[in-house]
């Protein structure tokens, strides 16, 4: 399936452009609110999931860059003024009737828990759509990157940042544990359990140098403009390669993170038993020998 830029223009909270061949640039577009996600009709995060699912199957797209509109923030997290499960819990419990009844329109605690679980799972699935996307995703963090920003960034395949970026796993400051993916993905991204626990349990802010030193980002660039330019350059390099090779590499790396070495090797063998029958390897080898740029079919 190949979408057009007209299709992507229908998204209210995200700007989508094609700055070069096969490269999509997605901007979180709520700069006046520091690109915070709000939950009015749950439209924003549902759109995010729909967008990345569409990009995943768009044959004209081979690599994606994700950034935030404006200079102040990549994403400042969840707009808690519109988060019903956060703002209503106190009033609901104070208005509960006796005999085991709960708040939330007379819903008992068990049924309210089931409803909240479905809500959280849906939110997780939408934010996780970038990780599930078949195409590589490069996140460019800048300015404020708090709370949900870390969930989003952990789903990217590559992370770059501007030197002014301020990171924070913010959730304990509002009395909850991060539940959209940070506590699951960040330990695998960074690999230092002590550091992950420190920043998650304290909600302290850390900067770009620390982000590089612990491996949360690949590189820190002087500013947002330079970071976006570097991300687009990297995306163009990815987009020039065989989409079979690039998308296969993402799938195999992601699989291997959650499986044993032998399971990863077995899965890779099965995957490449099919993939290497494509013409792409011969095209790539011939182009290298002739010192020409290879052209690959869409996938």
Q: Which residue has the tokens 């939330």?
A: 104
Q: Which architecture characterizes domain 243-289 according to CATH? A: Orthogonal Bundle (1.10)
Query: What is the rounded CA–CA span in Å between residue 128 and residue 255?
Result: 15
Extents of the domains making up the chain: 5-90+119-240, 243-289
Question: What Å distances lie between residue 238 and 21, 76, 141, 250, CA to CA?
Answer: 11, 29, 20, 11
The fold of the 5-90+119-240 domain, in CATH, is: 2-enoyl-CoA Hydratase; Chain A, domain 1 (3.90.226)
Q: Which pLDDT value is given to residue 40? A: 62
User: How is residue 47 written in tokens?
Assistant: 């759109």
Beta-bridged to residue 144, according to DSSP, are 73, 166
Q: Which pLDDT value is given to residue 157? A: 98
Query: What is the rounded CA–CA span in Å between residue 49 and residue 55?
Result: 10
pLDDT < 70 stretches in the chain = 39-42, 82-105
Q: Which residue has the tokens 């195999």?
A: 252
Q: pTM of the full predicted structure?
A: 0.89
Q: Which pLDDT value is given to residue 104? A: 52
Q: 5-90+119-240 and 243-289: same fold?
A: no
Q: Which pLDDT value is given to residue 85? A: 52
Q: Which pLDDT value is given to residue 191? A: 87
Q: Which residue has the tokens 């997290």?
A: 77
């Amino acid at each position: 399936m190949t979408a057009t830029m007209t299709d992507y223009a229908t998204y209210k909270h995200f700007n989508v452009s094609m700055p070069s061949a096969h490269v999509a640039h997605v901007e979180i577009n709520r700069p006046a609110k520091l690109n915070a996600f709000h939950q009015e009709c749950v439209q924003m995060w549902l759109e995010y999931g729909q967008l990345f699912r569409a990009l995943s199957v768009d044959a004209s797209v081979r690599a994606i860059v994700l950034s935030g509109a404006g200079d102040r923030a990549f994403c400042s997290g969840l707009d808690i003024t519109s988060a019903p499960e956060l703002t209503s819990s106190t009033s609901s419990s104070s208005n509960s009737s006796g005999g085991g009844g709960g708040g939330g329109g007379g819903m008992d605690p068990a049924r309210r828990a089931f409803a909240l679980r479905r809500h959280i799972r849906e939110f997780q699935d939408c934010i996780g759509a970038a990780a599930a996307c078949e195409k590589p995703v490069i996140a460019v963090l800048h300015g404020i990157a708090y709370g949900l920003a870390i969930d989003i960034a952990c789903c990217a395949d590559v992370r770059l940042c501007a030197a002014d970026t301020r990171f924070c796993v913010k959730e304990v400051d509002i009395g909850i544990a991060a539940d959209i993916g940070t506590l699951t993905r960040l330990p695998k991204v960074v690999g230092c359990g002590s550091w992950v626990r420190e920043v998650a349990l304290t909600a302290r802010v850390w900067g770009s140098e620390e982000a590089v030193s612990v491996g949360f980002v690949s590189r820190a660039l002087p500013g947002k403009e330079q970071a976006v330019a570097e991300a687009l350059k990297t995306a163009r390099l990815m987009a020039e390669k065989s989409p079979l090779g690039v998308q296969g590499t993402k799938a195999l790396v992601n699989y291997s993170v959650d499986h044993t070495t032998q399971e990863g090797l077995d899965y890779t063998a099965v995957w490449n038993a099919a993939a290497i029958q494509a013409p792409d390897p011969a095209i790539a080898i011939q182009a290298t020998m002739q010192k020409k740029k290879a052209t690959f079919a869409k996938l």
